């Protein structure tokens, strides 16, 4: 039987497995590897901190993901298709490895953050009319 996401070791397994899948994916893999040229030894520990902060309420992640993705938007497509792919890979990874209350919570959190991020990145700029 699968167990729940209970500690940092579980988060590390989730994050490592997720980004291994991301790198194999034709749609979003190249954004990480070819466009952003991600330094994985730096990015993965940051993502352990991020998810530990989100799921267990520990304030260990220091950063501003929106700034990172706003900068990335200048170089890469970050539209519905890319976000759908990101979410499908994340949910699939959680469900393959874990089952339980925290597994459900982390999927809900990922869904909310991804949807908000997608909205902010793609919201039309308001037109200002000065009469
Ligand atoms: C299509 C969807 C997405 C793409 C292509 C994408 C891509 C990236 C890339 C290329 C980086 C920079 C890595 C580096 O250079 O170190 C990054 C950082 C990050 N991403 Fe995403 N991302 C996506 C969605 C998300 C979502 C939905 C979340 C949260 C649920 C998220 C959370 C983060 C965080 C926390 C960072 C680190 C920011 C920092 O502190 O520097 N990303 N992402």
Three-class DSSP labels, 86-112: HHHHHHHHHHHHCCCHHHHHHHHHHHH
pLDDT score recorded for residue 3: 98
The pLDDT of residue 22 is above 90:
yes
Q: Ligand 1 centroid to 41 CA: how many Å?
A: 14
pLDDT score recorded for residue 125: 76
- Cβ of 86 less than 6 Å from ligand 1: yes
The pLDDT of residue 47 is above 70:
yes
pLDDT score recorded for residue 16: 98
User: Mean pLDDT over residues 26-34, rounded?
Assistant: 98
Structural domains of the chain in order of their starting residue, each with its CATH number: 8-121 (1.10.490.10)
Report the atom number in ligand 1 closest to the C-alpha of 61.
40
Strands, E, within the chain: which ranges? none
The whole-angstrom separation of Cα 51 and Cα 102 is 12
Q: Which residue has the higher pLDDT, 68 or 125?
A: 68
Q: Which residue has the tokens 């990145």?
A: 121
The whole-angstrom separation of Cα 5 and Cα 13 is 10
Q: Specify whether the CB–CB gap between 23 and 29 falls below 8 A.
A: yes
Side-chain half-sphere of 64: how many Cα atoms within 13 Å? 4
Report the atom number in ligand 1 closest to the C-alpha of 54.
30
The pLDDT of residue 26 is above 70:
yes
pLDDT score recorded for residue 131: 67
Q: Which residue has the tokens 């990015």?
A: 43
pLDDT score recorded for residue 24: 98
The whole-angstrom separation of Cα 24 and Cα 47 is 18
pLDDT score recorded for residue 127: 78
Terminal Cα-to-Cα distance of the chain (whole angstroms): 66
Least trusted range by pLDDT, from 49-63, 80-94, 113-127: 113-127
């Amino acid at each position: 039987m699968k167990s729940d996401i209970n500690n940092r070791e579980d988060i590390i397994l989730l994050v490592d497995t997720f980004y291994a899948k991301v790198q194999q994916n034709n749609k979003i893999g190249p954004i990480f590897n070819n466009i952003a040229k991600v330094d994985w030894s730096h990015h993965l520990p940051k993502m352990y901190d991020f998810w530990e902060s989100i799921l267990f309420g520990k304030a260990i992640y220091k950063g501003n993901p929106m700034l990172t993705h706003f900068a990335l938007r200048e170089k890469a497509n970050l539209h519905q298709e890319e976000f759908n792919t990101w979410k499908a890979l994340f949910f699939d990874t959680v469900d393959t490895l874990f089952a339980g209350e925290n597994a459900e919570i982390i999927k809900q959190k990922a869904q909310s953050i991804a949807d908000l991020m997608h909205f902010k990145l793609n919201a039309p700029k308001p037109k200002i009319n000065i009469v």
